[in-house]
Structure 1
């Protein structure tokens, strides 16, 4: 579905991504794990056109979308729930969700997507008229994911969805990731919580200092001694 080939990204003289090769197959959850500063968010920024690639390719099916303009992502059935949630604090839950459907003109599809989001996150329906800035951190994360789903994506990027959340809310978010996959959405999960990410994923990549150092079946990655020591806290 998505194939990244030899992707390089620079911030001035800093070589942030160094020849990244990564592939996502339709229907999978693929995790990208790594420590702070490894290049995870840079990779997402480059794939989504926020940061310009120095070289390499990003292919969606057979189409080259390298350095795509971010506003064109939804037309390609790609959506992102960004790190830090970035909801519109002065707008209501409903208004935030409606913004997520900006590329859809079919009212029936929009209503269907509202139903989908409120089924996944009943708490959002309870707070439908509430300003997003008054929601808890967990509720804002639900809203960010829900907003991303409003564009009917086939490929969803989740950037650090567990960041700063209470443990019980983290578990809820990961349960919803599994449910979204069951609905036919392919997911790239960028996540520092390596344990939960690997439990939730089909395959995984480990990113260190701008390089992919390991890839494979998520269970095999989770059982790798180096990964256990570095990311799972198991010596």
Structure 2
């Protein structure tokens, strides 16, 4: 579904991504783990068209999407739930979700998307008229993921969904990520909580200072002594 070949990205003079290669098959949850500053969010933002790729190729569903504008990628079937949630604080829950469906013209399809999101996140339905800025951190994360799902993406990009959340809410969010995947959405998960990420993923990549250093079956990586020492606090 998604193939990344020799991807290089710069921030000014900083060489953030140094020729990374990744591949995601349809139906998978694939995690990209690594420490702060490793380049995880840069990878996601480059895929999503928010950061310019200096070199390399990104192919999505057989089409070259390298440096395609982000809004066009939504039409291609890709959606991003960004780091830090980035909800529109002054807008209601419903208004935030409706913005996620901006590319849809079919009212029936939009209502079906609303129903799917409310089935996944009943708490959002309870707060449909509430301003997003007044929601708890966990509720805002649900809203950010729900907004990304409103376009019915085939590939969902999740950037640090557990960031700043209490442990019980993290468990809930990752359970919902599994549910979304079971409904047929492929997921690329960027996550600092390596334990949780590896527990829900089929495969994973380890990113260190802009370079992929390890990859393979998620459960095998979770048992690797190097991964345990560096990322799993073992």
* TM-score, shorter chain, exceeding 0.5: yes
Distance 2:12 2:118 in 1: 43
- Which residue of the partner structure matches residue 2 of structure 1? 2
Question: Matched residues in 2 for 1:64 and 1:167: separation?
Answer: 39
Match of 2:15 in 1: 15
Match of 1:199 in 2: 199
* Equivalent position of 1:177 in the other structure: 177
- In structure 1, what is the Cα distance between the partners aligned to 2:196 and 2:25? 20
> Under a length normalisation based on structure 1, what TM-score does the superposition of the two structures give?
0.99
Secondary structure of 1:49's aligned partner: coil
Q: Which residue of 2 aligns with 1:111?
A: 111
Structure-1 residue corresponding to 2:70:
70
- SS at structure 2 position matched to 1:192: coil
CA distance in 2, matches of 1:196, 1:48: 23
| Alpha-carbon distance in 2 for matches of 1:191, 1:214 | 16
Provide the alpha-carbon RMSD of the alignment. Answer: 0.5
Report the 3-state secondary structure (helix = DSSP H, G, I; strand = E; otherwise coil) of the residue aligned with 1:73: helix
- Map 1:115-134 to 2 at 5 A: 115-134=115-134
Q: Which runs of 5+ in 2 are unaligned?
A: none
Shift in Å at residue 61 of structure 1?
2.1
Deviations 1:28-79 (A, max 9, x none): 0000000000000111111111111110000012210000101111101100
**1:83 matched to which residue of 2?**
83
2: CA distance between counterparts of 1:176 and 1:143? 12
Partner of 1:154: 154
The 1-side partners of 2:109 and 2:61 are apart by 24
* 2:130 is the counterpart of 1:137: no
**C-alpha separation between the residues in 2 aligned to 1:121 and 1:166?**
17
Equivalent residue runs for 1:44-59 within 5 Å: 44-59=44-59
Cα distance in 1, alignment partners of residues 84 and 65 from structure 2: 25
Ranges in structure 1 where 5+ consecutive residues have no aligned partner: none
